[in-house]
Structure 1
Amino acid sequence: MEKQDQNRQKVAGGLILIIAGVALLLRNSGMVPPHISHTFFGWPSILILVGIFNFAKGAVKPAIMLFLVGGFFITSRMFPAFNVFQFWPVLLIVAGIAFFFGNDGAGMGMFSTGKVSNQDLLNDVSVFGGNNKRIQSDSFKGGQIVCVFGGSELMLNESTIAPEGANIELVAIFGGAKITVPRDWTVRTEVVSIFGAFSDKRYSGSAEGVNPDKVLTIKGVTIFGGGELFTS
């Protein structure tokens, strides 16, 4: 199953790069009308592409958030005379629906604070709000963090990482995440930042005491947003 997922991700990533390359080549060759170029060649389209890649990986909720935000801004470019921004509360309605139908720990974070969870797999979504959670897991495997016009503060310093390690998928759009991990965890960050940043603020000096067998990998994208990593 894992090999099939990896193959699907490779195919999706390759197709996205090919499509993006062909589209940019056509634009640079003058074969794309200016109004189409203005509408579809911009940062909102990057959100759609990243959403497609996340969907191919099985990260459905982050993909939906990316599709919604990217599509919202593309629509505003398609109809410049129409004030599409007056309908931004639709995003709130979608967030509310997802909140009602979300599972425990997986709903839209509406300014919830101090929640304690013992889940091994994290599914944290913050839209127009914020989450503050303490994770107390005996075998933390990772999960998903999605921040859209919102933020999440996650404290993992009371958790034990799974023997095989853990992977966190992060999507931060006009929002951010603060993650606190135990001092002995090895953390690898593979976050792509577009008008954003992900900062590792754990160590001012040496990283003495870090266990190479306790590996947390943080992957994802920050767009007009960011993230910070701290140690306890």
Structure 2
Amino acid sequence: MVGTPIGNLGDITVRALETFKMADYIACEDTRHTLGLLTHFEMRKPLISCRAQNEAEAAQKIIALLAEDKNIAFASDAGTPALSDPGAVLVKMVRAAGYPVVPIPGASAFAVMVSIAGTGDSSVLFEGFLSPKQGRRKRRLQELFAMETGFVLYESPFRIVKLLQDITDIDDNRHVVVGRELTKIHEEILSGTVSEILHTLQERQSIKGEFSVFVSGKS
């Protein structure tokens, strides 16, 4: 299970590259995306599509190849597999079939957000993407707030303002750190109360990029 860059290709690890080189096949969330990554590092390998929609079926193919003594590497589109990405089903099925699963650590937007939060939360929960439906999203936010622990969310540019508005409705003084396009050319990190960050984004004519949000456990 290979962690790959979340944006900046310079964040690939030496061990990840060595793992790709020794693999007989590389299973991946999006073959086009992984092909681009391999091409950048001048590698060519047979690819197997293993995405959320076909993960169980792909896992059976991978297990068959393992039975032939092949080495298989798996990479999601970006970051660490199984963190809001495919991978968990594959791990469960491969291990149940009696084969070892080896982690190859790499980049993770979750770890990045914890490292730059600066809030001192003693415990942090990874939540990932909330429901796109406002009612369900807001109910889950209220449950998370009741835990009084920090938590990390992922959100698209199309719903980031709605997410921050929901948080503001619950506690407009809650400290948040918002990362946009982490590790990429247009990386931006905003820190302050949720009402301040919400106002900043509402002032923009357009909002682009993928977002990660760290919410402090207390006001």
Normalised by the size of structure 2, how large is the TM-score?
0.30
Task: For CA contacts below 8 A with separation 6 or more, give which structure has more relative contact order.
Answer: 2
Return the structure number with greater strand share. 1
